[in-house]
Structure 1
Amino acid sequence: MNHTPRAKERELGERIASVGAVVVAYSGGVDSAYLASVCHGVLGERALAVTAVSPSLSRRERRDAEALAARWGWNHATVETHEVARDEYSRNGSDRCYWCKTELFEVLAPIASARDARIAVGTNLDDLSDHRPGRRAARENDVITPLADAGLSKGEIRELAAARNLPVADKPASPCLASRFAYGVRVTPEGLERVDNAEEALRALGFRVLRVRDHGDLARIELEPGEIERAGGLRTEIAAALRSLGFKYVTLDLEGFRSGSLNEALLQPRIAPRWGSSASR
């Protein structure tokens, strides 16, 4: 059996054709953009890319998603979602993504129903081994995952997106702004705007791959390892920019950027007292 990316893309096209009509949850990242491209190529007007707009979507991401859809002539719409108004979401537990996707699919469901279409998301093969509570919401809402079902990995999607001349082929991953909040730090519209502004301040200094992690009063900056030394030389400018947004403390993570670093806290083992408990003394 041929398992090349091109062969998987052909299988993907066949899967999409068999569905008949789709509503693609389109954020503008490489996965959803590639999926939107394939769906429009196979289904034409029976494909609709929909971008969910809320405080958790950065201004830059919305702008770029709309521009890409317009450039390629995709059938595109935006809808408002209100996940931040859900206490289950804003309290920011480890299941936050489940409530985010539940809100998204509830908003997309009537759109899909009116078009006799299925909702499709850009989940890829690699996502299946990560902490992704949103997958449960997808199963509960009968949402399809064509990229993962065709066995396409992130690297293969980037390769195929580049072959289609999609400008997002090498775009760094950029999940929603709420993913910057440490679990337990409440997600608010004001907090999301603060993180968005903090990351824009760093981009203005020339950094491209980055995260500003919100730990309440503390901002933890993740950059590519090769950029850490340069950031150290700009520490005065960086600290001033982030303090002006309300952070009391500004730190630079020496381990550098790593996707999903806040999930590390979910896997931390309980540390036993070094010398035994006080009861045993």
Structure 2
Amino acid sequence: MELEKKIEQLKDYLKDKKVLIAFSGGADSSLVAYVASDISKESLAVTIDNGVMPTDCITNAIKIAETIGVKHSVVKENYLNDPTFTSNPPNRCYICKNKMYSKIIEIADKNNLEIVDGTNITDLLEDRPGIMVNYDKNIKSPLVKAGFTSDDVKNALELLNINYSKSTTCMATRISKNSEITSKKINRITYAESLLKGLSGSEIVRVRDQDGNALIELENVSKILSMGILNHIDTELKAVGFKRVSLDIGGYGNSKKDIVVYKPCKDEKNKIMFETELPYPINIAKTCKELEKLGDVKCSVEMGIAMLETKDRNVTIFKTGKIVARRVIDREDAENLLVKVLPSVRRKFNSDIVN
């Protein structure tokens, strides 16, 4: 789908609505806030300062909101005071987002606003348990409805000349799950990332705390590849408490996953088949219920399969996370079909994840 058409669909969704935008100042929420400020009847951007965000995240969000011209509010809440969050269970992101949206819902209800966020299609291909909060609390994702991928969002921001922050992910995501989140760990990660930004010139830096060992990921690895700089980094990071320091030589964000992958279809001549593999298991019963809005559905919970027939095309979804598109015209047709189907897919929670 052409980018201009997606932008128009985004505008159509937000037009004349009264919306509250869950706003980080990152690419996705900045695009939604920009369009909402121009086209919506009323718009309010809300940023939750939860005590575990990058140091410049909140200040950048304030500046970007001012540039966009959207009304903006920052709400402070220290999640480090919540043992459920700091114990860092596998469903940490669900807990965090649930807390965040519970507060945002209070604000939205007081002001009679519909909550929207910046979730895009690419997010649905990743292992993000927090997205289930959107379904549980009826949070709308206009970028998903308009078919935006992460690349589409960045291209739209460039086309519209909108600035955004590249560092908006929670610092808690740097800490291995089941390892307690503490202010000490957050502070040493913050120091390490600040140091590496200065040394490498990279806008995006991640220092992951893996049981006390630092794993460095950054955009521009080449600028720190000298023994003098590496020794300096090693000394500084060990001085703040890291036991060992290692570098991911692949660089941050250099891997890119195709939305669909071509697979030869052996059983049917002249038929094209594409598939994708989601990194999480599927709740077939809930997914089938959502798919009924799109076409004819055949569902077998026992076999772990959901089949959708829509416009002479077939989509089969397996409980393992595999999605197969058959009888499509080409890759673009398969991608457009997947964009329509993905919002209906519901992940299956493990026993340790609260639904």
Q: TM-score scaled to structure 2, two decimals?
A: 0.67
Q: Which residue number corresponds to residue 270 of structure 1?
A: none
Q: Which residue number corresponds to residue 180 of structure 2?
A: 186
Report the 3-state secondary structure (helix = DSSP H, G, I; strand = E; otherwise coil) of the residue aligned with 2:15. helix
Q: Which residue number corresponds to residue 15 of structure 1?
A: 13
CA contact (8 A) 1:98 1:135 kept: yes
Q: Which residue number corresponds to residue 247 of structure 1?
A: 242
Q: Which residue number corresponds to residue 38 of structure 1?
A: 35
**More strand, by proportion:** 2
1:96 aligns with 2:70: no
- Hey, what's the Cα distance between the residues in 2 that align with 1:224 and 1:163? 23
Q: Which amino acid aligns with 2:102?
A: E
Give me the identity figure in percent.
27
Report how far residue 48 of structure 1 moved.
0.5
Stretches of structure 2 lacking an aligned partner (at least 5 in a row)? 256-278, 281-355
CA contact (8 A) 2:221 2:249 kept: no
CA contact (8 A) 1:49 1:74 kept: yes
Report how far residue 122 of structure 1 moved.
0.4
Q: Which residue number corresponds to residue 84 of structure 1?
A: 80
- Hey, what's the Cα distance between the residues in 2 that align with 1:102 and 1:91? 16
- Hey, what's the Cα distance between the residues in 1 that align with 2:100 and 2:136? 13
Q: Which residue number corresponds to residue 272 of structure 2?
A: none
Report the 3-state secondary structure (helix = DSSP H, G, I; strand = E; otherwise coil) of the residue aligned with 1:234. helix
CA contact (8 A) 2:37 2:69 kept: no
Q: Which amino acid aligns with 1:203?
A: K
Q: 1:258 to 1:97 in 2, by over 3 A?
A: same
1:137 aligns with 2:120: no
Report the 3-state secondary structure (helix = DSSP H, G, I; strand = E; otherwise coil) of the residue aligned with 2:36. helix
Report the 3-state secondary structure (helix = DSSP H, G, I; strand = E; otherwise coil) of the residue aligned with 1:78. strand
Q: After the TM superposition, which residues 181-260 of structure 1 pair with which residues of structure 2 at under 5 Å, given as runs?
A: 181-208=175-202, 209-224=204-219, 226-227=221-222, 230=225, 232-258=227-253
Report how far residue 25 of structure 1 moved.
0.8
- Hey, what's the Cα distance between the residues in 2 that align with 1:151 and 1:196? 34
CA contact (8 A) 2:33 2:45 kept: yes
Give the number of aligned pairs: 256
Q: Which residue number corresponds to residue 175 of structure 1?
A: 169
Q: Which residue number corresponds to residue 149 of structure 1?
A: 145
Q: TM-score scaled to structure 1, two decimals?
A: 0.84
Q: Which amino acid aligns with 2:8?
A: R
- Hey, what's the Cα distance between the residues in 2 that align with 1:194 and 1:163? 38
- Hey, what's the Cα distance between the residues in 1 that align with 2:80 and 2:151? 32
Q: Which moved more, 1:227-236 or 1:71-80?
A: 227-236
Q: 1:110 to 1:239 in 2, by over 3 A?
A: same
- Give the structure with higher Rg (CA): 2
Q: 1:8 to 1:232 in 2, by over 3 A?
A: farther
Q: 1:188 to 1:229 in 2, by over 3 A?
A: closer
Q: 1:201 to 1:225 in 2, by over 3 A?
A: closer
CA contact (8 A) 2:53 2:168 kept: no
Q: Which amino acid aligns with 2:93?
A: C
Report how far residue 106 of structure 1 moved.
0.8
Q: Which amino acid aligns with 2:21?
A: V
- Hey, what's the Cα distance between the residues in 1 that align with 2:226 and 2:114? 45
Report how far residue 8 of structure 1 moved.
1.0
- Hey, what's the Cα distance between the residues in 2 that align with 1:153 and 1:56? 27
Report how far residue 259 of structure 1 moved.
8.4
1:115 aligns with 2:128: no
- C-alpha offsets along residues 11-41 of structure 1, whole Å, 9 cap, x if unaligned? 11111126x2111111111111111111111
Q: 1:201 to 1:173 in 2, by over 3 A?
A: closer
Report the 3-state secondary structure (helix = DSSP H, G, I; strand = E; otherwise coil) of the residue aligned with 1:205. helix
Q: Which amino acid aligns with 2:107?
A: I
Q: 2:154 aligns with which of 154, 158, 162?
A: 158
Report how far residue 232 of structure 1 moved.
5.0
Report the 3-state secondary structure (helix = DSSP H, G, I; strand = E; otherwise coil) of the residue aligned with 2:249. coil
Q: 1:181 to 1:231 in 2, by over 3 A?
A: farther
CA contact (8 A) 2:201 2:220 kept: no
- Hey, what's the Cα distance between the residues in 1 that align with 2:38 and 2:18? 12
CA contact (8 A) 1:92 1:183 kept: yes
Q: 1:248 to 1:88 in 2, by over 3 A?
A: same
Q: Which residue number corresponds to residue 63 of structure 1?
A: 59
- Hey, what's the Cα distance between the residues in 2 that align with 1:259 and 1:172? 15
- Hey, what's the Cα distance between the residues in 2 that align with 1:42 and 1:161? 16
